[in-house]
């Protein structure tokens, strides 16, 4: 597609980075909007949003580097070339969760309530950011004979060129947007704090497990299996979220939180 959106002399504006930035901004605006109705101050949401963004970038990039460690051992400076693509969402999600647990404990803020606050924001941010993947050609799909197969021809694309591929980036973008819509509806009807966050984990992990089967790039398979490391992480998150949701649903119902 269009890995480089615009060139101004020595400055290249990469489409991937632009969409990632737009995704983060839209996600933060959504979180601030929800935060107002949840009783959070704008400063609190901004502080937490900064942590989410920073840890999402570091965790996602670190996971990608570890999955492709043989390449980065020989090309260590390429670790910092994130505008070329290369973020693993599950890695960012784990990093964000660990950092937020530490932060919320220090600030004495409720984990589940904050999770409900950021879940829709993360979903919509991811949906927009995946458009950057599509433009750069990273996270591309397997060859397909389907009529919607996409052919990448740009010499700088990261995808396999000149053959129809599953547009897995668009699948992921659509998934993020649909998950966002579902979570916003669920938020208005939630029965306990944490319900929106847990459903986000369930929906995202299920979507990831399905789409990973269509990915054509190297996914770092677990030895002796056809499962990628990303699929394993998604499966563990899915199982944990389902168990947590069952436990919390079975508890004695209380007055539903105010939207």
Determine which of 71-85, 87-101, 108-122, 144-158 has the lowest per-residue pLDDT on average: 71-85
Question: How many Cα atoms are found within 13 Å in the side-chain-facing hemisphere of 46?
Answer: 3
Residue-wise pLDDT tens digits, 69-89? 888 888 888 888 776 667 777
d(CA 104, CA 165): 43
pLDDT score, position 258: 54
Delimit the domains of the chain by residue range.
4-250
d(CA 20, CA 85): 10
Residue-wise pLDDT tens digits, 134-148? 988 888 999 999 999
């Amino acid at each position: 597609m269009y890995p480089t959106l615009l060139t101004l002399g020595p400055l290249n504006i990469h489409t991937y980075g632009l969409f990632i930035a737009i995704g983060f901004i839209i996600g933060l605006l959504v979180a601030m909007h929800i935060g107002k109705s949840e009783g959070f101050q704008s400063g609190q949401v901004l502080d937490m949003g900064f942590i989410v963004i920073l840890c999402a970038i570091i965790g996602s990039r670190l996971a990608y580097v570890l999955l492709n460690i043989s390449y980065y051992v020989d090309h260590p400076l390429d670790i910092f070339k994130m505008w070329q693509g290369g973020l693993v969402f599950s890695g960012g999600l784990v990093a964000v969760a660990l950092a937020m647990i530490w932060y919320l404990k220090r600030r004495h803020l409720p984990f589940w309530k904050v999770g409900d606050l950021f879940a829709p924001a993360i979903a919509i941010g991811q949906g927009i950011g995946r458009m950057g993947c599509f433009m750069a050609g990273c996270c591309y799909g397997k060859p397909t004979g389907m009529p919607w197969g996409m052919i990448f021809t740009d010499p700088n694309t990261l995808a396999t060129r000149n053959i129809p591929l599953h547009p897995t980036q668009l699948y992921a973008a659509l998934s993020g947007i649909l998950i966002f819509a579902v979570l916003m509806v669920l938020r208005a009807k939630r029965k306990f704090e944490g319900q929106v966050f847990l459903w986000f984990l369930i929906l995202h992990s299920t979507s990831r497990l399905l789409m990973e089967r269509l990915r054509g790039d190297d996914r770092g398979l677990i030895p002796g299996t056809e499962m990628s490391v990303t699929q394993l992480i998604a499966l563990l998150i899915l199982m944990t979220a389902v168990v947590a949701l069952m436990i919390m649903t079975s508890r004695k119902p209380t007055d539903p939180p105010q939207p």
